[in-house]
A and B are shown apart, each in its own frame.
Chain A
Amino acid sequence: MTCYVVFKLIWTGLLGVLLSLVGLMVGMDMGVGTLLRWVGRNNEERREALNIIGPHWEGNQVWFVLGGGAVFAAFPTLYGTSFSVFYIVMILLLFSMILRPVAFDYRSKVNSATWRDWWDWAFFISGFVPMFIFGAAMGNVLEGVGYHFLWDGQYIQDENFLSYLFNPFAILCGLMSVALGIQGGGAILMIHGIQPIYGRARAAAVPAGIIAAILFVIGGFWVSRINGFHMINKVDMSMPANPLYGQEVGRGVGDLLLNFHHFPILWALPAMALFGMLGSSLMLRANKPLVAWWLGVFTWLGTIGTVGAALFPFLMPSTTAPNQSLSAWNATGSEYGLICMALVAAIFVPTIFCYTAWSYWVTRGKVTPKTVAEDSHSY
């Protein structure tokens, strides 16, 4: 294996880890946003809920920003193609996501019930819609997307966005993602919240995990019935990063499970996901939200890992020109660029973990009406 192949693999793995962290950290905040109107029945309760994630949501959101930046740098062609192919969906994602920072900062700046009510709906939209789209996009990628390339690297879209947006499998994946967000959001609300928020969060999060597990299993069976992709020829893993180079791709029902048949150890990934989802719900039920939150790590690594294992080596297969499917071998950045970024990541990711942990430690403890009122800067 050449050095280039090793770094292609490292970045494909890191992409999976990054997407899992997006699910874990941003999903939790979005779950709180989705639940806000229900866990808090009046302004004081909603402010408590918001201030639970208040000190951290900006830092958490950077996982999302970094996810985008890392795809841009490590998989430039995938970045341009996937974001463009999902144009309308991505724009809707953006519209809903940019509501959140504004809602956080502006909600408590004016004392009016109508004003706050509007922002509370903004929280709902900016929690529900992005999580739904995040999951649905995963579903779309599993099914394959219609696009092809011209000789100079320009991509051409072959399908209409409606086929991505309103597609039963994608909707299933979207709902599962929302459910996981609610589970994570419920966990953090229970960790830092007091009654009545605690009880309401629990009432939502426990079933959310179970629903997610059910949808995950249904999705698993569904996947075995849909058309997947496989490599026909033995590909050169160190091929240049150009989708027009020497790849022969076939399609077949159940191909998405091929990797699992070849390497049964991969079944550990969906098992891990299910363990995370169900275990987390069980812990929430047993009033151990901190344990439940940490089980979310298994949930997300397992879920994204399952998607990755089903697709590998594809990153976004093409339905209309399967040979030009973007894969871990033909869609990466240059060897030099991948190495540079890996070095930078090796230094900064651990640093980020350290100071993120410190910032959570500083703001440990319960958020109560008293702490909210005391802090002039609280949301």
Chain B
Amino acid sequence: MKTKLSLLLFFFSAFMIESCVSKTPTHKEKLDLQELTKNQPEEHGAEVKPGDIQLTYPLNDQWVTEGKSIYDVKCSSCHKLTDEKLVGPGWKGVTKRRSPEWIINMVTNVDMMLEKDPVAQRLLEDCLVRMPNQNLNRDEARKVLEFQRKNDGE
């Protein structure tokens, strides 16, 4: 009996509440904000897959020059051109240690790399500073790679 009564009371109060809120709001378009949380335009590029980056020979001199200017503004604070570690590892030999795709992803897609790439994760443990997203697009990252190749004596 007690249960029945509670149920009844429950329905009764539910009805009372419902009767006051059932009118629909006047929005014309449905706002789907939670969708927006996932779809915010991100400067970061898509993942670069093996084979996506073509190395060309000889080096593209213009890319080397442009890559160097990008390095001066956005990378040199943390990466030396020698093998000396500053905030991040020195760049000497980086094009021998890592694949072109690894380097481009590290530049343009840090979050993804730190989430799933064991080498990137180990580097974070060493440096304790997340590699920042310096807002380079894939083309710019490619030019930096050309500059790194030059730095490695190619």
| Bound pair (A, B) | no
